[in-house]
Structures are given as C-alpha cells and as structure tokens.
Structure 1
Amino acid sequence: MESYRNPVLVGSLLVPPIVCALLTPFRDNFDNANAALLLVVVIVAVAAFGIRLAGVLAAVSSAVWFDFFLTVPYNTFTINSSDDVELTILLVLIGAAVTEIAIWGRRQQARASRHRGYLDGVITTSQAVAAGGSTDDLIDQVRMELTAVLGIDAVKFVAGDKQTKAPRLNPDGSVTRGSYLLKVERDGLPTNSEIELAVQHAGETRGRFLLIAAARIARPDLEQRLVAVALADQVGAALSTHEALHPHL
C-alpha cells in the first residue's frame, strides 16, 4: 500500500476540482444531480484503494469544488439552492460510506486469501504425510508453516513426551501459562519464553514444537492457532506411522 498511498492521496484532492472545472462549460445545461453522480464515481474510484483518508479527502474535495464550480453563485463557496446544499452534504456522506464499504471489502478479501493460504498449508502437509516421506522433511515443512501462520520468529522441534512449565498452545487453540488463560488477541503471544505446541496422535505425545516470538509481538487469532494445532497433529500422525513401521529404530 505504501507504494501508491501518496499518489492516491494527491489524486483524491486534485481529481475532483479537475472534473468540476471540466464540467463548467456545460453547467448551465447540465443538471447538478448528474454532476454529483459523476463525482460519486470519482469518490468510489478513490475509495476502491481502501485508504480511509483518501476516500474522506475525495469526498470533501468533491463537495467543496462542486460548490465552487457548479452551484449558483458560481466561483464562490456560497450556495443559494437548498437542493444544492443537500447534494453537497450527500457527496460527503456517500463518500464516507463508500470508503468504509471499500475498506471492509478489502479486509474480507485479505481474510479470504489468508484462509486459502492456511488451507493450502494443511493440505500440503496432509499430502506429505500420505506420501510417507521423510519425517525430518515433514517437520521442517511444518516448522515453516507454523512460523508463517502464527507470525512468529522461529520454531524448533523437540522429540519426546517431556513437559515443562512453559506456556502452552492447547488443542482448543487457547494459550495458557499454568492455569492462567492468556489473552492472545489483546496482549499477543508471550515473548519472554518459548510456547509449547504438543505433537500428539491417538492420545500420545510424540514431541513438541517450541514457538518463539521474541523479536515481535504476534497476535494470531483463534483460527490461526487452530491451524497450527492441525499442522502439529499431522506431524504426530506421521511420527506414529513411522514408529509403527520401524519399531526398532
């Protein structure tokens, strides 16, 4: 967004007066309601970038220059007609509303894209488990998936069923430190210790992933945490299968 934010902000201020100026030769024969609709198109185009400030600026700029160029008396910021006052106010209100809708739509699109990425990660891991490849390669793959899904710095894998008093990411997606439930969405994952994610299958612990979020505050939502649990379970299933096939290794 940073690459186009400044040009969009500049355009949100400059395009409305340019459009209004271009309409001035026709203003005596051009209904102001149609001019307002044209400015709404400009506002929608700016709002589509999903930058709240740009949408608001486009709405305000459209209202101001609509008043200046297209309402009587012309070339002043005075409005004599109550209809034109209503149109000016509507331009601001519509601009604000369209901007919020555009931002909401972009957020939904980004969320859907993230969901697709999570699903692809779980499917890829499931396919690796089904293919019966190297468990070391699978663990490395899941480590990378966990790092991306949770937005953390690093992940380590430790074999065995030994438990510690470190914070835990539980099967239901909650994060606890002892009996205390941590509010991850508000406070983020703990940065002063590793977080344990058990690798289990059929009720047996095969190891654990140690989640490290030391350099930044990560606030994965419940869905992301449940995806992490699902990925760990895939590793648990693979380790269980490997142990059944190679009991003496």
Structure 2
Amino acid sequence: MRRYLTRGPASAIAAVAAPLALSAVLLPFRSHLANTNVALLLVAVVVAVAALGRRSAGAVAAVTAALCFDFFYTRPYERFAISKSSDLATAGLLLLVGLAVSQLAARARRLEVIAITDADHLARIHDTAVLTRSAGSALTAVDHVRAQLIDLLQLRGCRFEYGNLMGHPARLEPDGSVVIGRRQWDADRLGLPDEDVELRLFGSGRYIGRFMLEPTLGAVPSRQARLVAVTLADQAGAALDTLRQPANAR
C-alpha cells in the first residue's frame, strides 16, 4: 500500500484529496470547532501525506490545507479572503509548518534508505570475510563474490578470469570510479558503461585475475555500491593469494 501511495500520480491525488476530505468531514461542525483545532487537524493530514508520499506531495498537501482552511473556516466563508488577523496568522503558520514537515519527512526517508543500505553492505562484507576464512577452497569464495557482485551492481552476469590481462576493457577503479581507456566515465549519472567492465583482483600486491562485469542497461549502482564491490573483490583476491603461497609460508 505504501509503495503505491509513494508513486507520483497517487501521491499527488492524495495530497489534494486528503485535506479536502477532512475539510468536508469537519464542515458540519464549523461553528463548534476553534480554527486553531482545525488547523492542527489539517497539519496532521499533511504529516500523513508527507510521510507516505514524496517531498512534492507534502508541499502540495500543505498548500491545499492552507487554502481549505482559508476557504471553509475563515470569514468570509467560501471565499479566498481572511478578515481576522488571528486567522491570517493561523493560515500562514499552517502553510509554513506543513512545508517544513514535508521537508523533514523526505529527509527521514532518505536517512532510512541510507541506514538500510549501509547495513546491507556491511552484511555483504562481513559474510564474505567469514567465508574467505572458513571456506575449504578459495574458489568457493570467488564464486560467492561473483554472485554478490551480480546482485550488488545489478549486473546481467559476471565471470572470473584468472591470470593475464587480455584487451583493454572499461575498468572499475579502487576509488569506485570507472575509466574507459584514459577517459573518466560518469558512473554516478550514467551507471556502468554498456560493455564489459573489469574489476581487478590483487594478492600481496600482485595481479591475480579479474571479474568481468556485464552491466544491465539503465541500472545506476551508487558509488557506495561500487566501493563495496571493490572491497569484495579485495577479499576474493586475498583468498586466491593463499593458493599462490608455498605451503611452508602459510
């Protein structure tokens, strides 16, 4: 239900309809309700719309609520005019508080998404670290990381190539940036390029192999996700490095 309400058309309709609906419900009791109480109830509606919808929906709800308050609950009634200074102040505060609430609600949703995303990324890194220490084969860790990269970067596919470099594909760098030849690619805006992208693995400072990433057209993995991908590749490289070390050096 919440996912449906956060969509553009649905949230826009709710932003206009909710204050109007509440105003219609309260209208028969207009002579018995203080205008400040009506304003508080309208603010509650704005909060609900802002919490479920987008920032713009909260702003539209705030404007609609202020207009409803003016039109239905201030004299002269059914006109966009306010005769009392106290009602004018209440309408102004209703609008300002509603706009502020919509901004705060949007920020709270962003922080919630960031917190969930960070927890997911940390879990990926932790699970891979545990696997690289306990797996009987480093290749098991590599296959695990390959699956993680597909999910994390929204890839069509991913393969691991062991040994020497071949060709000059686009490359995901340790800082999360993407380069094609000597040219920087705007991955933050465009996502990964529509071609294979290599993610190199190193162990003890030496090149071991690479993951070849097959991007999905239109997917735009965040820089944070790309940095996590680099970290996962480093863990796979460390696991493979154990295969290169002599038994007496372990």
Q: Shorter-chain TM-score: what band?
A: 0.7 to 0.9
Q: Which of these residues, 156, 161, 170, is aligned with residue 158 of structure 1?
A: 161
Can you give the 5+ residue segments of structure 1 that lack an aligned partner in the other structure? none
* Preserved contact between residue 50 and residue 102 of structure 1 (Cα < 8 Å): no
- Classify 1:138/1:240 alpha carbon distance in 2 versus 1 (closer, same or farther; 3 Å): same
Aligned residues: 245
What is the CA–CA distance in structure 1 between the aligned matches of 2:177 and 2:16, rounded to whole Å?
Answer: 47
Which stretch shifts more, 24-33 or 135-144? 24-33
- Classify 1:218/1:91 alpha carbon distance in 2 versus 1 (closer, same or farther; 3 Å): same
Q: Which of these residues, 197, 216, 219, is aligned with residue 199 of structure 2?
A: 197
AA partner of residue 134 (structure 2): A
* Preserved contact between residue 171 and residue 226 of structure 1 (Cα < 8 Å): yes
CA RMSD between the two structures: 2.4
AA partner of residue 47 (structure 1): A
CA deviation vs aligned residue, 1:46-82 (integer Å, no higher than 9, x gap): 1111423432332232122212221112233332223
Which stretch shifts more, 123-132 or 145-154? 145-154
Q: What corresponds to 1:173 in structure 2? A: 176
Q: Percent identity?
A: 39
Report how far residue 21 of structure 1 moved. 3.6
What is the CA–CA distance in structure 1 between the aligned matches of 2:158 and 2:77, rounded to whole Å?
Answer: 66
What is the CA–CA distance in structure 1 between the aligned matches of 2:78 and 2:179, rounded to whole Å?
Answer: 65
What is the CA–CA distance in structure 1 between the aligned matches of 2:85 and 2:116, rounded to whole Å?
Answer: 46
AA partner of residue 240 (structure 1): D
The 5-angstrom pairing of residues 199-218 of structure 1 reads: 199-213=201-215, 215-218=216-219
Report how far residue 158 of structure 1 moved. 0.5
Q: What corresponds to 2:242 in structure 1? A: 241
CA deviation vs aligned residue, 1:13-68 (integer Å, no higher than 9, x gap): 33323333443454445332232122111101111114234323322321222122
CA deviation vs aligned residue, 1:154-211 (integer Å, no higher than 9, x gap): 21110113253112112232222232222211332211x2111111111111110011
CA deviation vs aligned residue, 1:138-157 (integer Å, no higher than 9, x gap): 22221121122223322111
The 5-angstrom pairing of residues 3-82 of structure 1 reads: 3-4=4-5, 5=7, 8-82=11-85
What is the CA–CA distance in structure 2 between the aligned matches of 1:156 and 1:26, rounded to whole Å?
Answer: 68
Local SS of the residue matching 2:155: coil
Which stretch shifts more, 150-159 or 124-133? 150-159
* Preserved contact between residue 58 and residue 95 of structure 1 (Cα < 8 Å): yes
Can you give the 5+ residue segments of structure 2 that lack an aligned partner in the other structure? none
What is the CA–CA distance in structure 2 between the aligned matches of 1:10 and 1:228, rounded to whole Å?
Answer: 40
Which stretch shifts more, 62-71 or 203-212? 62-71
Q: What corresponds to 2:230 in structure 1? A: 229
What is the CA–CA distance in structure 1 between the aligned matches of 2:23 and 2:180, rounded to whole Å?
Answer: 61
Q: Which of these residues, 96, 115, 133, is aligned with residue 99 of structure 2?
A: 96
AA partner of residue 171 (structure 1): P
* Preserved contact between residue 187 and residue 220 of structure 2 (Cα < 8 Å): yes
* Preserved contact between residue 139 and residue 240 of structure 2 (Cα < 8 Å): no
What is the CA–CA distance in structure 2 between the aligned matches of 1:25 and 1:68, rounded to whole Å?
Answer: 14
* Preserved contact between residue 17 and residue 62 of structure 1 (Cα < 8 Å): yes
What is the CA–CA distance in structure 1 between the aligned matches of 2:178 and 2:152, rounded to whole Å?
Answer: 15
